[in-house]
Structure 1
Amino acid sequence: MSRSAVFLDEMGVGPLWRLRQGLAPEAVDVVAEAAVEMEIAVAAPVLEAESEVVTEVVAEVVAEVVVEAAVEVQAEAPAAVAATPAPVATPDDTAWFDDAPPPPPAKQFSDADIAALDWEGLTAAVAKCARCDLCKTRKGVVMGRGDRQGAWLMLASSPSRLEEREGRALPGEQGKLLDNMLKAIEVDAGSDVYITHLLKCRPLDEAGQERLPTEAESAACRPYFERELALLQPRTIVTLGSMAAAGINPGEKPVRGKVRQLGNASVVATFHPEQLLQDGTGKAKARAWADLCLAKSTHGG
Structure 2
Amino acid sequence: MTKTVKNQVLKYLYNLKSFGYEYHEPLNFFTSEVKNFKLPNNLKDLKTSVEHCYLCELSKCRKNVLFGYGNLNAKIMFINDEPTKTEDELSTFYVGNSGELLSKMIENVLNIKKEDVYITTLVKCRSLNGATNSNMEVCNDYLLKQIELIKPKLIVALGEKSYSFLLNQNDNFSQIRGKELSFNSIPLIATFSPTFLLRNPSFKKDAYYDMLKVKSYMEDLC
By relative contact order (CA 8 Å, sep 6+), the higher-ranking structure is 2
Aligned mates of 1:189, 1:174 — CA distance in 2: 17
Query: Structure 2 vs 1, CA of residues 175 and 263 (structure 1 numbering), >3 Å: closer, same or farther?
Result: same
Aligned position for 2:194: 273
Aligned mates of 1:162, 1:136 — CA distance in 2: 17
Give every structure 1 segment of 4 or more consecutive aligned residues whose post-TM-superposition deviation is greater than 6 Å: none
Cα offset for 1:137?
A: 2.6
Match 1:170 to one of 90, 94, 97: 94
Aligned position for 2:216: 297
Give 1:165's aligned amino acid: E
Which ranges of structure 2 fall in alignment gaps of 5 or more residues?
8-33
Aligned mates of 2:123, 2:72 — CA distance in 1: 18
Give 1:183's aligned amino acid: E
1:288 aligns with 2:212: no
Aligned mates of 1:287, 1:165 — CA distance in 2: 30
Cα offset for 1:177?
A: 2.2
Cα offset for 1:136?
A: 2.4
Secondary structure of the 2:38 match is: helix
Task: Report the count of equivalent residues.
Answer: 189
TM-score, normalised to structure 1, is: 0.57
Give 2:209's aligned amino acid: A
Aligned mates of 1:251, 1:236 — CA distance in 2: 19
Aligned position for 2:38: 113
Aligned position for 2:139: 221
Percent identity reads 27
> What is the correspondence of 1:199-278 to structure 2 with a 5 Å cutoff?
199-204=123-128, 210-213=129-132, 215-251=133-169, 253=171, 254=173, 255-278=176-199
1:127 aligns with 2:62: no
Aligned mates of 1:117, 1:177 — CA distance in 2: 33
Aligned mates of 1:147, 1:233 — CA distance in 2: 11
Aligned mates of 1:170, 1:106 — CA distance in 2: 34
Cα offset for 1:112?
A: 4.0
Aligned mates of 1:298, 1:271 — CA distance in 2: 18
Aligned mates of 1:173, 1:106 — CA distance in 2: 39
Cα offset for 1:132?
A: 1.6
Give 1:141's aligned amino acid: V
Aligned mates of 1:160, 1:175 — CA distance in 2: 9
Query: Structure 2 vs 1, CA of residues 291 and 111 (structure 1 numbering), >3 Å: closer, same or farther?
Result: same
Aligned mates of 1:176, 1:162 — CA distance in 2: 11
RMSD: 2.3
> What is the correspondence of 1:47-126 to structure 2 with a 5 Å cutoff?
108=7, 110-114=35-39, 116-126=40-50
Aligned mates of 2:52, 2:5 — CA distance in 1: 7
Secondary structure of the 2:89 match is: helix
Aligned position for 1:8: none
Which ranges of structure 1 fall in alignment gaps of 5 or more residues?
1-104, 205-209
Aligned mates of 1:190, 1:147 — CA distance in 2: 9
Give 2:180's aligned amino acid: V
Secondary structure of the 2:190 match is: strand
Query: Structure 2 vs 1, CA of residues 160 and 113 (structure 1 numbering), >3 Å: closer, same or farther?
Result: same
Cα offset for 1:107?
A: 5.1
Instruction: Confirm or deny: 8 A CA contact 2:163 2:169 kept in the other structure.
Output: no
Q: Which structure has the larger Rg over C-alpha atoms?
A: 1
Aligned mates of 1:222, 1:246 — CA distance in 2: 13
Match 2:75 to one of 120, 136, 151: 151
